[in-house]
Homo-oligomer: A and B are copies of this chain.
């Protein structure tokens, strides 16, 4: 049984390790959790005792199979709740992250199964991110941020990073939503800004923005 705080740490470790494929350093985690390295070291010991991560002093943490499964359940809950808020309650996609951060900690397996059913077993959340199924299986879609694309690329927006509400508001304004057509027209060397076509509308975006729009790789 993990506490709310432990769940949040584990989720951050899952994301920072790219789903368990690399080790996470203390300072990285401190940054992600908006806390101090000393606090992270303490928490790492607890999570390690609960066997959801392995930990070697000074070398960072790795998530275990059990930890991965627990992290995926939290992510499943988060993304199902976001879908509920947008599809059923009429929230805008830029308003749901904070609330879902709370709802993801509600502990009731039955509730989540019922919610999943009620939503019609959605495969992705409103930001385009895949929703793990009830067994914790997640379909990882290799995603590339737009700032790494070459001129001439054509495709569809797969997802957008969902952390910042102001960014999402802006993306919504320029029409950058999952599923929408996108084409790279040009790149500006000196500031890494880009000229792109979103659903046939020409827009100029800064690097801060292009990094947060993801296409299928």
Please report A residues at the B interface, Cβ cutoff 8 Å: 85, 88-91, 95, 98-99, 102-103, 106-108, 110-111, 114-115, 117-118
Q: Which residue in chain B gives the minimum CB-CB distance to A106?
A: B102
Contact B107 A102 (CB under 8 A): yes
Contact A102 B108 (CB under 8 A): yes
For A90, give its contact among B89, B91, B103, B114 (CB under 8 Å): B114
What are 22 A-B pairs with beta-carbon distances under 8 A? A85-B111, A85-B114, A88-B118, A89-B111, A89-B114, A89-B115, A89-B117, A89-B118, A90-B114, A91-B110, A91-B114, A95-B110, A98-B108, A99-B106, A99-B108, A99-B110, A99-B111, A102-B106, A102-B107, A102-B108, A103-B106, A106-B106
Shortest Cβ gap from A105 to chain B (Å): 8
Q: Which residue in chain B gives the minimum CB-CB distance to A118?
A: B89
CA distance A195 to B117 in the complex (A): 42
Shortest Cβ gap from A91 to chain B (Å): 7
Shortest Cβ gap from A37 to chain B (Å): 27
Additional A-B contacts beyond A89-B115, A89-B117 (4; CB < 8 A): A88-B118, A89-B118, A98-B108, A102-B107
